[in-house]
Chain A
Amino acid sequence: MSALLQYLISGIATGCAFALVATGFVTIHRVTGVVNFAQGGFAILAGYVTFSALRAGLPHGVSELLAVLLATAAGGVVGVISIGRRGTPLLASLIITIGLGFLFYAVEVAIWGDQPLQFEGVPGVFSLAGLTLQRQYLLIVAGAVVSFAALLLFFNRTYLGKIFTACASNAYAARLAGINVTRVGIAAFAVGGLLGGLAGVLLLPLRSLTFDSDVDLAVNGFAAAIFGGLQRPGAALVGGLVIGVAEALVAGYSHASYQKGVSLVLIVGILVWQASRRAQAD
């Protein structure tokens, strides 16, 4: 019983981080139609920057903030390069994000090397229902909740946020209203960078930091995002939690190396089921 609770809590925490990555995918895809393959890279970059900032003696909080800001800027740069040039087709933009992911690798290996690194999150533990758990789990969940609330407010309550939604809803009409849709797309990339960076500084203290571990984060984030067709942030949140919990349960009760397989089979199964229901409805 207490084992179950333990798995649930760690699953929810990692699920929250996946959901942040996923929301980055969704934000970018909604506005630009591009699946940003560099999405996992923002998290890793933020992790490395936090590592170095802490090493340089900056306190917690400041280090993480710096890292997230840099990830946001990196998101903007990826946006400028992949969609900034007029007439770049979608598939080309997608391949460009893959290419930029490799450039991330080059920069990261050049600065931080190719050996795993580790940085501290919130130290200490807390107890819940007789369980001892790492404080970092709490921080991840709190960070994700705050981020989602802020995002919700931004998209639904602010004029600028509604401009994002308008571009996603009908890019042609947005252009007719005088909106520079490309610029909004680049801003969406920056928001994607921000969300990826947040996921990185929150989750990575629990894992070791290597330049190519972005693949794992991106796959999980993409899996969560595809839950809502890469369109709905809410569905991406649910998707992230389902994957996080499913992985934790599989890893806990059977074999750690099955965790990826099981959650993937689950998601593909759901997608195929949805698609065949849609086909029947037509």
Chain B
Amino acid sequence: MAEALLEVRGLTVRYGAAVALADVSLQVARGEMVALVGPNGAGKTTLLNAISGVIRPAAGRIQLSGRVTQVPEGRQLFADMSVEDNLRIGAWSVRQRDPAAVYELLPRLRELRGRIAGTLSGGEQQMVAVGRALMSTPDLLAIDELSLGLAPLVVDSLAQYLRSLNRERATAILLVEQNVRLALELCPRAYVLEAGQIVLSGSAEELASSAAVQAAYLGGAPEPVPVASGGEDAEA
């Protein structure tokens, strides 16, 4: 494997007495796209929050050789502020606060720059959330539930943006996604997290053809089908 950008080893996270993550290990290489899938309550958001440093692990190591920024579950925009202000606040930790580079990648945001973020459609909000995270020029973009509540077409175009981001800027992506079809299509490698533990990992093809994954996440379909025509949620 190429040089590790993110290396998580033996990570354990507790909420009070409840164990949310138990001895989780995972790697993401520079410029890699990795999917993290699993049922509700598996601990995916918890894992991203630990990687982002907003919750403290009880045990284990998280090594990062670069900047990570999270696109949180449910967008979490600054709803009463303008799109441009949302973007600029995303750049708090860096010097460069001009959103021009992000507008270049997501041109739609330039048209929306003056709108109040809370009044945008779900897809537009997700785009702002991604753009805001990109403002800090991360080496790793950790995205929590990209497709949540979005129409298949919108999801498809967001996926296209991520692809070009990854291709053009070599930004690594760790994608948490309930839509396993989409996740496995977008990312060459994936982990399956269940009840706080990594139960499976491997290349997208391996996982997609594994009987366990098919039964649990792909509705028993023999082959992964293209995203735009499918889009049904594993859990929904």
Contact = CB atoms under 8 A, between A and B. Distances in A.
Interface of A: 159, 162-163, 165-166, 169-170, 172-179
A169 B80 CA distance: 7
Nearest to A165: B81
17 contacts: A163-B92, A165-B78, A165-B80, A169-B78, A169-B80, A169-B81, A170-B76, A170-B78, A172-B72, A173-B72, A173-B77, A173-B78, A176-B52, A176-B72, A176-B76, A177-B90, A179-B89
B44 interface: no
Contacts of A177: 69, 89-90, 92-93, 132, 136
Interface SS of chain A: helix, strand, loop or mixed? helix
A169 B81 CA distance: 8
B184 to A, nearest CB: 26
Interface residues of B, number: 20
A169 B76 CA distance: 10
Contacts of A163: 89, 92
A79 to B, nearest CB: 20
A166 B72 contact: no
Contacts of A173: 72, 76-78
Contact of B97 (A159, A165, A179): A159
A169 to B, nearest CB: 4
A170 B80 CA distance: 10
A166 B76 contact: no
A166 B69 contact: no
B14 interface: no
A162 B54 contact: no
A162 B81 contact: yes
A169 B92 contact: no
A59 B76 CA distance: 51
A197 to B, nearest CB: 28
